[in-house]
């Protein structure tokens, strides 16, 4: 069963990459731009930072961060954050607005950055949370909770989402 799931996940990622090959650089745009703020990114380019609850369109998808739990407290004593670290849970939804299926991968398309621009990937927890990973059909969506392990002292957290696996555009959502 584990090997078959690995093959399926690999096929979904390959399909997503193949579908993204035709994509070029994408710029994140708000669907409702009432709350979008603009700031200069690390490369000097203008980048938009969105808020929790904003609908952000990036290429063939829309992203909505529905909520943030900071810190996420472990429900057991076995799997807990490392010493000096905390878990931050992000409830997010990706909607497919394309005519073709879109692959969503929390590992390949999401990270959390802090005020020092240090990046943190999705972590494995013992929590029973819905997964955002998988394929979304045209007009469909995937909603799930991703957990990131960050230092206890980390501030200025933001979620960075790359809509298409091979495109250079990304969307940034302030988490605090």
Task: Give the C-alpha distances (Å, rounded to integers) separating 149 from 81, 121, 133.
Answer: 7, 8, 18
The pair of three-digit structure tokens given for residue 132, joined into one six-digit string? 């955002």
pLDDT digit string, tens, across residues 27-70: 677 776 444 444 443 333 335 899 999 999 998 999 999 999 99
Cα 90 from chain centre:
8
- The residues near 23 (Cβ < 8 Å, ≥ 6 apart) are 59, 60, 164, 166, 167
pLDDT at 8: 40
Q: Position of tokens 């070029």? A: 24
pLDDT at 26: 59
Q: What is the pTM of this model?
A: 0.77
Q: What domains lie within the chain, and their CATH numbers?
A: 2-174 (2.60.40.1240)
Among 86, 118, 89, 83, smallest CA distance to 106 is for 89
Sequence-separated (6 or more) residues with CB below 8 Å from residue 160: 110, 111, 112, 113, 119, 170, 171, 172
Model confidence at 128: pLDDT above 80:
yes
Structure-model confidence comparison of residues 43 and 114, the more confident one: 114
């Amino acid at each position: 069963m584990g090997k078959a799931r690995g093959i399926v996940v690999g096929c979904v990622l390959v399909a997503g990459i193949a579908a993204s090959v035709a994509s070029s650089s994408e710029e994140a745009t708000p669907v409702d731009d009432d709350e979008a703020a603009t700031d200069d990114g690390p490369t000097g380019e203008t980048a938009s930072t969105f808020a929790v609850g904003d609908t952000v369109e990036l290429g063939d998808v829309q992203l909505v961060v529905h909520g943030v739990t900071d810190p996420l407290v472990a429900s057991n004593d076995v799997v807990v954050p490392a010493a000096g670290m905390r878990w931050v849970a992000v409830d997010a939804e990706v909607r497919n607005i394309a005519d073709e299926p879109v692959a969503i991968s929390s590992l390949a398309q999401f990270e959390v950055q802090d005020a020092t621009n240090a990046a943190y990937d999705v972590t494995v927890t013992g929590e029973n949370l819905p997964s955002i990973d998988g394929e979304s059909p045209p007009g469909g969506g995937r909603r799930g909770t991703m957990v990131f392990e960050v230092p206890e002292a980390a501030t200025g957290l933001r979620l960075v989402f790359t809509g298409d696996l091979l495109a250079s555009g990304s969307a940034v959502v302030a988490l605090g």
